[in-house]
Amino acid sequence: MGGAHSRSNGVPAEWLVGADGFVPKERYTHPRFLELEEDHLFGRVWQIACRVEEVEHPGDVVEYGIGDQSVLVTRAEDGALHAFHNVCLHRGARLVDGCTSAPDGGLRCPFHGWRYALDGTCIEVVDADDFTALPRPLRIPPVRVESWGGFVFVNLDPDAEPLLEFLDPLPAVLAPFHLEQMRLRSVLTTVLPTNWKAAVDAFNEAYHVQSGHRQTLPFVDDVSIVYELLGKHAHYGRLPGARRVLRPSPRLGIPDAEVDEATILRALVSGLGGAFLGEERDLVDDLIATGPPPGQTLLGAYQERRMTLLARRGLDVSGLGPDQMTSVEDLYLFPNVVGPVYPGSAILFRARPVPGDPDHTYHDTFVLQWPDPDVPPAPPKRRDFPRWRERDWGTLTMQDYENVERVQRGMKSAAFRGLRLNPRQEINLLHMHRTIDEYLTRATVVV
């Protein structure tokens, strides 16, 4: 057959997002839709595999699994970063499960002992003289790999755009937070009984705060949150156009004269514990005990002192405003990473579909912190929790996990046809679905 032609990816029209924004439930429940996502979405996008500090030293190896595909990210002896498919070219066995190290500079297949260098080149075949037709050199096909912000990204599509083009404009938006200088404290993985998109949705809007996290309303002004689409990605938080005073949600109807700034500030740093280190929380107690300096509010004094504290730790705060010391910037990195970024810390959630199962998701929590300049960084910890209820994830996350499980069960109802999203407060979700459709309906070129 001569020449190249394109073919349809076979996406049923009734499963695409409607012009009115209606999102059919089959996108969350049907195995065929997940299969399309695995092939035409996750097979084409840049996605976070690990942190740079997890492959910091020669011989470090991290496995990244997405759908039924597995990729190894390695640091070679010459310091180069590589990624290649996690498969032995002999009989197809997986080479590695999880994270490991290769102190001798090679990976040996546990089945028949074939050995590979850390760039995927086969460097040893047991009884090689028995084979008469092995190609030379023999190398596992590489996977695109690039890094930004301290994260290692991989892409299964050899023809994909460069990483920075895919990310644009996120690098500029997040530059003041210096993610590349943070250190990974831990990666915690569990399995959620929900679709991967529902797991993303729960952390990609604040519309649910007034019901799902009602206990935060005394110190969170959820009404003024601004949503912003950023290329394929999105963001929500207290951007410059939003009110920047520390106040309760207007939904509570508390008159300004009755607002106690000290109570709200103390509730904020305790209720959003992941954003504040112990030393930063202690600042609140000190300020409440002594009172702010003349001419300053309690809020202003805390913001100034926290900024000074972060600067002493080595964080360049020149790109941050005082108001960002007591606010949250929530990031959505298409397609499957979402979470809050703070000055000096971040908690990012990555959702990965369980192969062939639209009702379950691997959910990874990346906890990042600014390093203490006086303490050598500890190696990152990875822990697995097969059942999410066997661990206390913190009040807010536990509430979200409860709700995404409830959503997946409810979507099976014959009375439910699909999602009707809030066009302002859930715009990030709608944007995600429309961007997914761009990938699913993009023509496949066949040579």
* Structure confidence by residue, pLDDT tens digits, 192-209: 999 999 999 999 999 999
Instruction: Determine how many CB atoms are found less than 10 A away from the CB of residue 326.
Output: 25
Hey, what amino acid is at 254? I
Judged by phi (left if over 0) then psi (alpha if -120 to 50, else beta), residue 56 lies in: alpha
Question: Would you call the peptide bond into 377 cis, given omega within 30 degrees of 0 as the criterion?
Answer: no
pLDDT for position 5: 35
Domain boundaries of the chain, sorted by first residue: 46-159, 238-329
Whether 251 has a pLDDT exceeding 60, the answer reads yes
Q: For 443, phi and psi rounded to 5 degrees?
A: -60, 140
What average pLDDT does this structure show over 274-287?
Answer: 77
pLDDT for position 447: 38
Higher-confidence residue of 407 and 226: namely 407
Of 1-10, 137-146, 415-424, 433-442, minimum mean pLDDT range: 1-10
* Structure confidence by residue, pLDDT tens digits, 21-51: 999 999 999 999 999 999 999 999 999 999 9
Instruction: List Cβ neighbours of 315 (8 Å cut-off, separation of 6 or more).
Output: 178, 181, 343, 344, 370
CATH topology of domain 46-159: Rieske Iron-sulfur Protein (2.102.10)
CA distance 328 to 363: 22
In Å, what is the CA distance from 128 to each residue of 135, 225, 230?
A: 12, 64, 53
Highest mean pLDDT among 139-153, 282-296, 302-316, 322-336: 139-153
Report the predicted TM-score, pTM, of the whole model to 2 decimal places: 0.93
pLDDT for position 264: 81
What average pLDDT does this structure show over 425-440?
Answer: 97
* Structure confidence by residue, pLDDT tens digits, 254-277: 887 788 888 888 877 776 655 666
In Å, what is the CA distance from 92 to each residue of 35, 67, 73, 425?
A: 22, 17, 18, 47
**Strand bridging mode 381-385 / 183-192:** parallel
**Closest by Cα among 336, 335, 342 to 307:** 342
**Closest by Cα among 101, 131, 129, 104 to 115:** 104
CA distance 337 to 48: 8
